[in-house]
Amino acid sequence: MPPDKAGIIPRLRQRSASTLQPVMPVNSPQIPVAVRPSGCPGLLRIVQALDGGICRIKLAGGAISTAQARVVADGAERFAAGVIEATNRANLQIRGIGADHSGLIDSLLAAGLGPTTVAGDDVRNLMLSPTAGIDRQRLVDTRPLAQQILATLQSHPRFAQLSAKFAVQLDGGEALAMLDHHHDLWLSACTLAGQPALAFGVAGCLRDRPLAAVPLAQGHDLVVAVLEWFLDHARPEHNRMRQLLVETPVDKLLADLATRLPLLAIADWQRAAPTAGLHLGTYPQGDSGYVYVGAAAPLGRLDPAKLRGAAHLAQAFGDGSLRLTPWQSLLLPNIRAEDGPQVLAALEQLGLLGSADQALAHVIACTGSPGCAKAQADTKADAVRLAALLQGTERCTEVHLSGCPRSCAAAHPAAVTLLAVAPGHYDLYFSAAGLPGFGAPHARNLTIEAAGALLGARPRSHP
């Protein structure tokens, strides 16, 4: 059942009249009233799956207030099957939505979780570090610039043409950072000649060498220039920057940018490696006496009780906010250091994973056959079995169970991938430099027990 667009548009118009500023009135003939068709879920576009509708809630900077979190929990209970997922882009989504799409959308819009314009829902794809502004290692607090970029992504008349998958990453040099997710444009804080700057690259990830840099004050202008350049040169079949760059050399992009921005040479610079595992447990913030506390949703799955419980802890001990991470986990920021152990223990009592010692914290899995018609196996149930087999071994690397070759659960290749070929049976791959996709095939048609035995016996030095 499609969303009630006749109801959604007036609600967006009402919100815009108070706190939000659309690029022009929502009922203008120059702004499409209908939500554009796409296979990607959004807040305004609920996409049907085998287990019901999927609504994806894109969070500004990955942050959500405790009041908003409760609205999500209530919506998952009232309008869906009670399944909430933390995504690998630091967003939330509700699965198993029934017939009342408009009721759910209405509640989320009223909580301030929607876009500022109808067309803006698809393109507000900006990822920050979960510890933006509070990380002890940060070079820049990226939140003010992120707010400016998000506003422009939603209000720029041309940016509504971007694919719903087109994404930007803004990095402030934090110790907790995702360096492996590919983005169409990434920006990373650095220091050049004693001045703050932003290195940048396209069609890649933060581990790549940058193309150039711009002064920090030019960060917003850089994003606008790169996205406008993409739209100037892309054909309809070009949804992502990497597709365009197959035909148009990156030197052309740099030459055109140089006519609009002061590009800075940045030889021999590369983003420093982050510290692994900082999304689980309790860690000091930049402000003395405060910590953040992190715990993962098992296999990315939350339920209303877990989300409400985490929200209660954030309200009682923190600043009333939660932050999602690309590791499908939650952070509670601004907790007094003396309260950190208590908060972490309470999160674990809710059923969240607070320690890297838990094998399930290293396993990711797609929805699997109960919710996806393309999946060949019940990947989440098999992942739980695999984690139980690996618990207590020295296996601490990331293992990905994929129900089909689309690899929806992993935004970057995992060290180990199990690709389902039949119920309970998987082909095993190890990542390898220079090999695309899942990497090098190692074994075929393994049961979960066989895969667990093989992985558990491999020495730590292997992937």
What does the alpha-carbon distance between residue 132 and residue 284 come to, in Å, rounded to a whole number? 13
Where does the chain hold its CATH 3.90.480.10 domain(s)?
282-354
Q: Say how many CA atoms lie within 13 Å of 44 toward its Cβ.
A: 27
CATH 3.30.413.10, the chain: domain bounds:
139-172+179-258, 361-457
pTM of the model: 0.92
- Domain 139-172+179-258 coded CATH 3.40.50.620: no
Residues in the chain: 463
282-354 fold: Sulfite Reductase Hemoprotein; domain 2 (3.90.480)
Per-residue pLDDT tens listing for the chain (463 residues): 333 434 443 444 343 333 333 333 333 333 334 688 888 999 999 999 999 999 999 999 999 999 999 999 999 999 999 999 999 999 999 999 999 999 999 999 999 999 999 999 999 999 999 999 999 999 999 999 999 999 999 999 999 999 999 999 999 999 999 999 999 999 999 999 999 999 999 999 999 999 999 999 999 999 999 999 999 999 999 999 999 999 999 999 999 999 999 999 998 999 999 999 999 999 999 988 999 999 999 999 999 999 999 999 999 999 999 999 999 999 999 999 999 999 999 999 999 999 999 999 999 999 999 999 999 999 999 999 999 999 988 766 899 999 999 999 999 999 999 999 999 999 999 999 889 999 999 999 999 999 999 999 886 545 5
Direct distance between the N- and C-terminal alpha carbons of the chain, in angstroms, rounded to an integer? 45
pLDDT of res. 25: 31
Dihedral, CA atoms, 366, 413, 360, 445, nearest 10 degrees?
A: 70
Asked if residues 326 and 334 have their Cβ atoms less than 8 Å apart, the reply is no
CA 433 centroid distance within chain: 24
- How high is the pLDDT of residue 34? 63
Domain made up of 361-457: CATH architecture: 2-Layer Sandwich (3.30)
Reduce the secondary structure of 137-202 to three states and give it as a string: CCCCCCHHHHHHHHHHHHHCCCHHHCCCCCCEEEECCCCCCCCCCCEEEEEEEEEECCEEEEEEEE
- How far lies 225's CA from each of 170, 222, 248, 449, in Å? 15, 5, 16, 52
